[in-house]
Each structure stands twice: as C-alpha cells, then as structure tokens.
Amino acid sequence: MAQSREEVVETMKDVLASELGVEADKVTADARFKEDLDADSLDLVEVVLALEEKFGIEISDDQIAGVKTVGEAADLVISKQTAVG
C-alpha cells in the first residue's frame, strides 16, 4: 500500500531518531543526511537497512548513491512501494 510523502517522512523520523539518535525535529524533508544530520556512510547503510525492513522493499547501492536528503530518500521509498504494487 503506497503512502503519501508526508507519511513516509513521518516514519523516517522514527527510523532516523532510533538509528542515528537525532532529534526528530531535525528530520525534515529538506534535511541533508551528511551535513544536517551528521550521518557517516555506515549510518546511511543502517538507515537503508531499517527502511528496507520497515517498508519491505529492497534498495540498491546505485539508487542510494544519489540520495542526499530525507525527502529524496522518502521519494525513493515511495517509488519502490509503487513498483511492488
């Protein structure tokens, strides 16, 4: 079941807060993982693993490469959910 971008960003807030230990307030669609959320490459992998588990999707490394912000990650999750049906 596809969710709205807002819903996905909301879910990502929980994931990021638990995986990266960032304050939920800082997780906005525009927030950049590296610069704003202080995430290193392993943090990002952890986030991707958590998103894959949470949404039942698979994200390839190529697809992650272009993702800089929380909003872009949400878009990727949505496109994956749509692809699955």
DSSP string, 9-76: HHHHHHHHHHHH---GGG--TT-BTTTTT---HHHHHHHHHHHHHHHT----HHHHHT--BHHHHHHH
Minimum distance of other proteins from residue 34's CB (angstroms): 16
Minimum distance of other proteins from residue 58's CB (angstroms): 14
Using CB under 8 A as the criterion, what x/- string covers residues 34-73 for binding other proteins? --------x---x--x------------------------
Catalytic residues: 40
